[in-house]
Amino acid sequence: MQTPEHGEGVVPGLAITRARKESFLSAVTTDPAGTAAGPDPAALADLAALGEAEAGPGSDGDDASGPEARAGGAGLGSRAPLRLMAIHAHPDDESSKGAATMARYAREGVDVLVVTMTGGERGDILNRAMERPEIRANLAAVRRAEMARAREILGVRQRFLGFTDSGLPEGDPLPPLPEGCFAVQPLETAAWPLVHAVRQFRPQVILGYDENGGYPHPDHVKCHQVTIEAFEAAGDPDRYSGCGEPWQPAKLYYFATFHRDRLMALHEEMLRRGLESPYGDRLDEWIDEPDKPGIEITTRVPCGDFFGIRDQALIAHATQIDPEGSWFACPREVQRAAWPTEDFHLARSVVNTERPEEDLFAGVRHDVRWTSGVSRW
């Protein structure tokens, strides 16, 4: 399945009708509790085939009243010359990877969009204070509310693309993944709404996961696959036709958040200040694999002044983050002194840029070919 070619959005093998499209759109409108419900698998398949992922402002992730306006970013349909898209698997991932970078760019006027592939419905509750029956029974709605708060704190826009969390399988042997979940979707089905999002938002820069997903959660690995597919296909007019006008992003980065050099720097700075380091055991257990070198850091974005905003966004994900937990064991002043950047690997680029970089938009800012496009979101 590549592109719809047989009538109005019809793909061979799928009975796609206007009524089914409307069924999907109704499935992502708000429920009585005021949170957007995810689509059923059949409606999601129709969405992927039609390539009509966009919901109206405020209905599935956008705050049309504008946290971006308060942050100095651009509003819906704006002509902001610089646009950054971060692609994540679950709510909370955006706050633990690249959050301070997004907060900095949003406050500099960059239009920042977080795309969240799943609703995190099968996630564990990692904060014991939130392990309550009413939270467990409404976890999907709770996590959407947490995401709304986090995006407001970061000052970014955000969209759910409607796939179902695959969960993290455990056991020996591992059990099969749940039917219909994100990780088992065919690549083009999973990538279709993301290609549509790229063509609508028109980012010059995309942030995503490396081939290991950052860590081997099936949704993170799938997120890497669809990110690569979208980056390579969004600019090709022969692929995903009926999914918006082609747009070629300029650069694709992988997050390089949890690496040994950073942990060692934080560890040594804490010891220098006479503080107990939480990283000693982790560093002792770190195993370097010569045949699998770590990710190359090509870009370090100074953003220490925004670590506080990052932490506030993390705390907003109360089911996932214990405010007294290990996420906050290293004081921010130590982090700013020892490692005041967030780090990335430049995986794809169609513009010339010198390495190392300190700016995700290096090679883009002063090139009218990239700054003249207008976002349709």
**Rounded mean pLDDT, 275-291:** 85
**Residue predicted with more confidence, 363 or 3:** 363
* Buried-exposed string 197-225: b where 16+ CB fall within 10 A, e elsewhere: bbbbbbbbbbbbbbeebbeebbbbbbbbb
In a domain, 169, yes or no: yes
- Residue 157's domain spans which residues? 71-256+346-371
pTM for the predicted model, two decimal places = 0.79
In a domain, 29, yes or no: no
| pLDDT at 294 (0 to 100) | 78
Nearest to 317 by CA among 86, 154, 104, 78: 154
In a domain, 240, yes or no: yes
Q: What is the CATH number of the domain that holds 239?
A: 3.40.50.10320
Residues with Cβ within 8 Å of residue 203, at least 6 apart in sequence: 83, 84, 85, 113, 249
In a domain, 190, yes or no: yes
Nearest to 242 by CA among 13, 41, 16, 84: 16
| pLDDT at 31 (0 to 100) | 31
Strands 205-208 and 83-88: parallel
Residue 11 has pLDDT above 50, yes or no: no
Q: Residue 201 is encoded by which pair of tokens?
A: 């938002």
Separation between Cα atoms, residue 317 and residue 144, nearest integer Å = 9
Residues with Cβ within 8 Å of residue 246, at least 6 apart in sequence: 199, 234, 235, 236, 237
Unique residue bearing structure tokens 């679950």: 90
Residue 323 has pLDDT above 80, yes or no: yes
Separation between Cα atoms, residue 192 and residue 274, nearest integer Å = 52
Q: Residue 299 is encoded by which pair of tokens?
A: 């870009």
Q: How many domains does the chain have?
A: 1
CB 335 within 8 A of CB 341: no
Residue 34 has pLDDT above 70, yes or no: no
In a domain, 228, yes or no: yes
Cα-Cα end-to-end distance for the chain: 27
- Confidence at 27, pLDDT banded by 50, 70, 90: very low
Determine the 3-state secondary structure of 196 from DSSP.
helix
Residue 303 has pLDDT above 60, yes or no: yes
Q: What percent of the chain has pLDDT over 90?
A: 67
Separation between Cα atoms, residue 41 and residue 29, nearest integer Å = 16
CB 377 within 8 A of CB 77: yes
Unique residue bearing structure tokens 């009538």: 7
Tell me how far apart the 2 most distant CA atoms of the chain are, in Å.
70
Q: Specify the range with the lowest mean pLDDT, choosing from 22-26, 157-161, 225-229.
A: 22-26
Question: In degrees to the nearest 10, what's the CA dihedral of 310, 313, 314, 315?
Answer: 120
Please provide the average confidence, as pLDDT, over all residues in the chain.
81
Residue 274 has pLDDT above 70, yes or no: yes
Residues with Cβ within 8 Å of residue 358, at least 6 apart in sequence: 299, 300, 301, 302
Separation between Cα atoms, residue 190 and residue 188, nearest integer Å = 5
In a domain, 233, yes or no: yes
Separation between Cα atoms, residue 100 and residue 280, nearest integer Å = 25
Task: Return the DSSP state at 346.
Answer: E
Nearest to 47 by CA among 192, 224, 179, 197: 192
In a domain, 361, yes or no: yes
| pLDDT at 291 (0 to 100) | 63
Model pLDDT for residues 110-149, shown as the tens digit of each residue = 999 999 999 999 999 999 999 999 999 999 999 999 999 9
Q: Where are the alpha helices (DSSP H) in the chain?
A: 18-27, 41-50, 67-71, 93-96, 99-107, 133-137, 139-154, 187-201, 218-233, 260-272, 280-285, 307-316, 332-338, 368-371
**Rounded mean pLDDT, 232-241:** 96
**Residue predicted with more confidence, 4 or 114:** 114
Model pLDDT for residues 324-370, shown as the tens digit of each residue = 988 899 999 999 999 999 999 999 999 999 999 999 999 999 876 77
Q: Specify the range with the lowest mean pLDDT, choosing from 202-216, 229-243, 327-341.
A: 202-216
| pLDDT at 290 (0 to 100) | 67
